[in-house]
Amino acid sequence: MNDAWDDRRRVLEDEYIERQNQAALEKLARAGEGTQPKSPITGKAMVREDVLGITIDRCPDSGGVWLDKGELEQLLNRARQQESGGPLSSWLHELWSTVTGK
């Protein structure tokens, strides 16, 4: 009988921790919603643009583009799916190979 109560207590604790983690993540997301990243070149606010379904940050003055972690890989994968060897896919693949050495 003790094992059943211990198991139940662990499940309730895990559920509580999961709810707390989710609430903290939502709070962090809300806190970051109003902040626009600044261009490392001009220091002005960057604009968000959609490229192949991936949101990237671009400096409207310099044209520089900022990719968050994993966005280059996502762009490359989307280009492969959409163009299957077309010029955009080839260009992205060549860029990725140059950047990573792969």
- Please give the average per-residue pLDDT across 24-46, as a whole number: 80
* pLDDT attached to residue 62: 86
Using a cut of 0.75, tell me whether the model's pTM lies above it.
no
* Least confident residue range of 2-6, 16-20, 85-89: 85-89
Q: Cβ-count burial of 75 within 10 angstroms (0-12 exposed, 13-18 middle, 19+ buried)?
A: buried
- Other beta carbons within 10 angstroms of residue 37's beta carbon come to 14
Q: Is residue 61 within 8 Å of 39, Cβ to Cβ?
A: yes
% of the chain residues with pLDDT over 90: 20
Say whether pLDDT at 68 is over 90.
no
So what's the pLDDT on residue 88?
A: 60
